[in-house]
Amino acid sequence: MLRIGMLTSGGDCQALNATMRGIVKTVLGNSKEQVEIYGFEDGYRGLIYGKFRILTWKDFSGILTVGGTILGTSRTPFKLLDEPDENGMDKVEAMKQTYHKLNLDVLCMLGGNGSTKTANRLREEGLNVIALPKTIDNDTWGTDMTFGFPSAIDVATRAIDDIHTTASSHGRVFVIEIMGHKVGWIPLYAGVAGGADVILIPEIPYETKNVIKAIEDREERGGRFAIIVVAEGAITKQDAALPKKEYKAKVAARKYPSVAYEVADDIAAETGREVRVALPGHTQRGGAPSAYDRIFATQCGVEAARAILAGESGFMIAQRKGSMCRVPLGDVAGKLKYVDPESDLVQEAKLMGISFGDEA
């Protein structure tokens, strides 16, 4: 009997179901022994509190195109992992007990950076774990791509596309806030795809005067409107120079709901232009996965299944230079993959005239 545990952890995304489908269909179609699939509900909470259900082939039929996760998900912060719950329960020990009680051969964890750190902790505790790189942010170290990212780009790009018509009609400046607290992969890709005039991301601190210069330059060329794409974690050069604690305190005391409103207010005050803010928000996590996401998610699932059938674990499934591979969990845990300011896409965007606010 081959017993497989499966959970989805952290923020949801469009291709979680497609990935699980890839795992299960491949294992069931190729295993020489009977297989039992245990789906843990709401992420690591299900593993901690023993909340699961046995899944069959039927549960994974027809879910390739369905976003979200049939198992439910939740955030279980890694930094709180060693803190007992409200009833004094040791979370790590509880997860180990559930794993051994069900006599699992392997645990498949679909999650991002924090979730991968927990997966590595469980590996260190002696459990057989395979991680699969889920995050719309594409910030998981060790892989060129994460599932959820392609779909999020599509959603964000459509939002930018839709804003173009109303911005043009009214001759307005629009500031569109795109998800990305610590890294700017989604705003970078969606900004380029959506024809943004300015893209502000965490990795490239900006100056407001440079943003305004880009708007004025566009106006001089006859541009009626301007599109500013701003990552949630966009930061000015002045703030980037502050100590981390001081910057956090400044953000906490900020009068604006988010950085997009601050950028919009600064532009309006300096230029007198009519400025509006648009927030696609959680729509970037929702809806059906894109075609590319379905393909990549399926590849991840199949590669995980191959490892399961071979009795191998202790790594994250990844893609590098177009090829699927495995990266040891110990190498992945705790690391973020940032946008390189000198990368081809950033430099190409600049040559196209897109401003990142770092230079006039």
* Angstrom distance (rounded) from CA 128 to CA 109: 11
Give residues with Cβ within 8 angstroms of 140, minimum separation 6: 112, 113, 116, 133, 146, 316, 332, 336, 337
Q: Smallest Cα–Cα separation from 319: which of 138, 101, 61? A: 138
Amino acid at 73: T
Residues forming the active site: 137
Contact 179, 284 (CB under 8 A): yes
| Three-state SS annotation for the chain | CEEEEEEECCCCCCCHHHHHHHHHHHHHHHCCCCEEEEEECCCHHHHHHCCEEEECHHHHCCCCCCCCCCCCCCCCCHHHCCCCCCCCCCHHHHHHHHHHHCCCCEEEEEECHHHHHHHHHHHHCCCCEEEEEECCCCCECCCCCCECHHHHHHHHHHHHHHHHHHHHHHCCEEEEEECCCCCCHHHHHHHHHCCCCEEECCCCCECHHHHHHHHHHHHHCCCCCEEEEEECCCCEHHHHCCCHHHHHHHHHCCCCCCHHHHHHHHHHHHHCCCEEEECCHHHHHCCCCCHHHHHHHHHHHHHHHHHHHCCCCCEEEEEECCEEEEEEHHHHCCCECCCCCCCHHHHHHHHCCCECCCCC
